[in-house]
Structure 1
Amino acid sequence: MPFIRATISDPHLDRATQETLAKGLTQLSVAVLDKPLERTSVHLNLVPAERYFVAGEPVGEATGAHVEVSITAGTNSADEKARFIRETYELLRTTLGLLPPVAGVALYEMHPESYGYNGVTQFDHRRGNPQRGL
């Protein structure tokens, strides 16, 4: 159940580009991290460029971008995570164009007892006990 947050320094990013990013991030989650399509959520946080800094300086003509993904700990290998980071950066570059020297991708691995959906932890979903949290 990944939750993907992408912060982009362009509050006027057109709808087609937003959809390209959301679909691309979702596809990477499914294809690279083997996450279920129906439980993958993407939130695009579009911020003014004057609020995005790298090394204390405005990003200028570049489009600042940072992607954070919450996943259940222990569900992906180091190679899968490295591939996801690499391919997510490439998606950002091809979709947004010029990026600043630092365009980050972070995978947050959440303990299955501390992460869940529909009121049930991942731990209980995996144990086949999805009613426990209701």
Structure 2
Amino acid sequence: MPFLHIRLAGRTLTDGERLHLQDEATRLAVTLLGKRAEATAVLVEGTPIADWTIGARRQKVAGHFEILISEGTNTAEEKARFITAAYALLEETLGAHLDPVTYVVIRDIAMDSWGYGGQTQESRRVAVAA
């Protein structure tokens, strides 16, 4: 049950580009981290480029890609592959001016600290194990 939050600046996406980004982000979560597509949520937000600097320098484009996953569900190697692929997706979306200091963040959340449908991930895990 990942939640992906992608922030972009300096480029306004068409509806088709936004849908492509959401579809590709979901595909990466499914293929690289083994997550279920039907439980994957993706939020894409835009922010003014004037609000974003790197090294106190203005940017032409900028992005940030964050994913929340349940703690202990992925290996370091899986996460490394995901970070590489997510950065490539941002680069594909934003173009050649994307600064290498563009972060992809994987947040491991304890299973008893989040959930959906009114149930924690821990309660789901326990129910499946029973």
TM-score by length of 2: 0.92
2:103 match: 104
Secondary structure of the structure 2 residue equivalent to 1:46: strand
TM-score by length of 1: 0.90
Query: Which digits, 9 at most, give the CA deviation of each residue in 1:57-81, with x for residues without a partner?
Result: 211x3x2010110000000000000
- Structure 1: distance between partners of 2:51 and 2:93: 21
1:12 Cα deviation from its structure 2 partner: 2.4
Contact conserved, 1:11 with 1:47, CA < 8 A, in 2?
no
Q: Which runs of 5+ in 1 are unaligned?
A: 130-134
Contact conserved, 2:6 with 2:65, CA < 8 A, in 1?
yes
Contact conserved, 1:20 with 1:95, CA < 8 A, in 2?
no
2:48 match: 48
- Structure 1: distance between partners of 2:11 and 2:115: 30
- Structure 2: distance between partners of 1:57 and 1:50: 10
Instruction: Select which of 88, 91, 108 maps to 2:89.
Output: 91
1:95 Cα deviation from its structure 2 partner: 2.1
Q: Which of structure 1's runs of 4+ aligned residues deviate more than 6 A?
A: none
Q: Which runs of 5+ in 2 are unaligned?
A: none
1:11 Cα deviation from its structure 2 partner: 6.0
1:100 Cα deviation from its structure 2 partner: 1.6
- Structure 2: distance between partners of 1:122 and 1:53: 36
Q: Percent identity?
A: 35
Does residue 128 (structure 1) correspond to residue 109 (structure 2)? The answer is no
Contact conserved, 1:28 with 1:84, CA < 8 A, in 2?
yes
Contact conserved, 2:28 with 2:86, CA < 8 A, in 1?
yes
Secondary structure of the structure 1 residue equivalent to 2:10: coil
Q: How does 1:1-134 map to 2 (within 5 A)?
A: 1-10=1-10, 12-59=12-59, 61=60, 63-98=61-96, 99-128=98-127
- Structure 1: distance between partners of 2:92 and 2:12: 18
Larger helix fraction of residues: 2
